[in-house]
Chains A and B, each alone.
Chain A
Amino acid sequence: MDLQQQYELEKLFKTKLHQAMRFYLETCTHCGLCVDSCHVYNSMPELRYTAVGRSEVVRKIFIKYFKMQGKIAPWLGETMEMDEFVLDKFYEAAFSCTGCRRCMVHCPFGIDTQQIMSIAKLLLVGADKEPKILSMLSDMSINKGEQVEESRAQYAEAIKNIEPEVEAIWPTPPGKKTIPLEVEHADVLYVALSGKHSIISAAAIFNAADINWTLSSFEAVNFGAFLGDPQRTKKIGNRIIAEATRLKVKTVAIVECGTAFRIMKQQFGKLPFEVVTFVELIAKYHQEGKIKLNKVMTEKVTYHDPCQIARNAGVYEAPRYILNQLSDDFVDMIPNREENWCCGGGGGLVAAGDFEFRMKSSKVKADQMKKTGATVVATACENCHSQLHDVCGYYNTNQHVEFISHLAAQGLAK
């Protein structure tokens, strides 16, 4: 690596050095309390998979380039020079971390390893060493925003084609569209994913509750956040913000996708609309008497708290409330809520990660699910759903994974 590139990466590193980040980088006492918190380390006990172990290489670069000690006495052994070896270490650390922040809960200083890993991810982008599939997916989302008008008519046709599947669950109220598009002043803009499964159950629930809603033209997922590129993250999120602002909606409801929800809720500052995750709306509609739910579930059900909805955004009770309307046999995983084990697929690992690693690093998750005795694992995140589905198969847990919205739609009653 030449000096120019080192300089460019140092500049990028500096963009991340806000007050909290300096605290995270300067405060670690190597007490080791975070070691057992990480599902990766618990499943594959190697020091490089601990929170403190992952952060070390970032810290050494920080000391080398941004601390006096690194400038005057780098031979003390606490520093490393930015080079290809360091970038390889960044990759290994950042893309084996799901950004679940379970370690942060156990660190006495609240050190956020996911934030430290965001430095490694940004520098990998700067060095053109990021997982190419994630930058491609991010750029695809950005391009989609730029050419959305070109596909509008065909998208409307595709949406029309799935309406019978919504009506099979719940009849559309008279005078209403089954899946409304482009409705100005709607109470809710629902931002789904590309798949029809992410639209059908939600549409049935909105229609059962007789809500004035409209479907977004975009997918909620923010690949820029998985990639760790703040500029792409912003551009992807801004597509939805522009649409919601243009349509003057009151609420943006994000499909069951943890990262999409947390990023929109927490990283775009004050917005002219409220941001909720769809499961919160289902619970609210039930509590307000707008929908009724029958106890249709006959199997024992448990719930996986998606890290980005639960621990990192505080939504714990709404999904449990819904499951308790649908079942008399709900059991929590141990541990749960803030302490729940990550599914092992976050941080872009489902799209970019190596399958064997994803499975091996989720052994602790498979054990936790099996211990519940439930045959249904409900969750509220597409990424968790995909990962847990794979984990159930890999470890033969004899469980199936279901979305809360799908279960709720099945339980809709007159």
Chain B
Amino acid sequence: MADYTAVKTFDYKGLPCPMPIVKMSQEISRIAVGEVGEVLSTDPGSIADFPAWAKTTGHQVLDIVQEPGLIKIYVKRVK
């Protein structure tokens, strides 16, 4: 069981390049430091993009959950 609860969902399904990452960078401030957000994506590239974004910006990807047609990425705001 995940030991976190997402406080907000960021729906980035079907956005063109590079909008999921641009939006995440802008919208991470909508959750508080220490909180977790759930990103919904349909981009296979998100699997590597979000961890690389987290490494670049100092945030954290806690988990990636895949379902047919949907990728859920759990992002913790660190700063």
Contacts and interface: CB of A to CB of B under 8 A. Distances in A.
Interface residues of B, number: 30
Contacts of A148: 48
Contact of A194 (B25, B44, B68): B44
B10 interface: no
Contacts of B64: 154
A340 interface: no
A154 B55 CA distance: 18
B51 to A, nearest CB: 6
B27 interface: no
Given A133-B22, A136-B56, A143-B52, A155 B17 contact: no
B9 interface: no
A194 B49 contact: yes
Contacts of B18: 137, 194, 221, 223, 351
A195 B42 contact: yes
Nearest to A139: B56
B52 A147 contact: yes
Contact of B47 (A154, A197, A386): A154
Max chain A Cβ within 10 angstroms of own Cβ: one of B20, B47, B71: B47
B71 A194 contact: no
Interface in B42-79: 42-49, 51-53, 55-57, 64, 66-69, 71
Given A158-B47, A194-B46, A196-B42, 8 more contacts: A144-B52, A147-B52, A148-B48, A155-B48, A157-B66, A161-B67, A195-B14, A221-B17
Interface of A: 133, 136-137, 139-141, 143-144, 147-148, 150-151, 154-155, 157-159, 161-162, 164, 192-199, 217, 219, 221, 223, 257, 351, 382, 385-386
